[in-house]
Amino acid sequence: MASKTSAVVTPVLESLKSHAVFKRYKDRGNRKKKSKEAGFAFTESRLNFGKRESLIFQIHNQKVDIIFFHGGGAFAGEPLSLVWAGKPLAEKGIRLILPSYRVLSRDRSSVFDAISDAESFVHKFLKKLPHDRRLIVGGASFGGLLALHILRAMPEKTFNGILLVNPVCDTTRGGFSNKQIPTSGLDDISPNLYCDSLPQVPCLILHPADDQVVALRQTTDFLSRWRNGKAAMEVWPRSGGHGAFNLVGNQGKFVEKCSAFSEKCDA
């Protein structure tokens, strides 16, 4: 079990703010402009949750769809922080979908609201998705916890794989905690306690070696409990801390890893 991580919220936000791709756009018109410049469009309103819009990259010949949840500890974060990945993934035939969900700092919401929003998004989005397309669910940090909940909640064989980046896998006492998750723990939402019920789908977990927000031991402990022969972990990046995949110098490698993983996911 991972050791307790204290004062999580501040390190998460400071880590994100240090990345060139992270900015806050409070004005909807400005967010729409920045999204369009990056090749994204706002989704229809029924797919928006909270005070941020879900984003979908504008590509029509994709082989794979990746639904990827942003991080932020259910306290902050937004889909716009990940738009840098849209175009390079599209060049490899992958369409990136970035769902919105409620967070405490904007919506005065709980982790259970975030989980509910994530499930609602996926249920509604899949109604229009062709059945012959490869579909991967994923997320970073708290977004990884959401992706694991989605994998458990949806019918088996819904997803061809799951992609996780420094994911929150342990919310029991002594695990991940912040303003949303108390130090006493939230066992009901902790992936390491329900991993036995997860389908055995291909899984790639990327976790930085020097992560001070979500301990690397969370990932190794989760994998040992899941016992999924199709799951693999890479200790990457070697430096940069929590969310280091977002750093400009790592973005190209992250896209390559996503593309290589998608090829391993059966259609």
Inform me whether the pLDDT recorded for 20 exceeds 90. Answer: no
End-to-end CA distance of the chain: 35
What pLDDT, in 10s, does the model give residues 69-97?
A: 999 999 999 999 999 999 999 999 999 99
Residues 37, 64: contact at Cβ < 8 Å?
no
- pLDDT classification of 25: cutoffs 50, 70, 90: low
Mean local confidence (pLDDT), 147-165? 95
Mean local confidence (pLDDT), 139-152? 98
Question: Which residues does residue 233 pair with via DSSP β-bridges, in sequence order?
Answer: 205
Ordered strands of the 64-69 beta sheet? 40-42, 55-57, 94-98, 64-69, 134-140, 161-165, 203-207, 231-235
For residue 267, the model assigns a pLDDT of 57
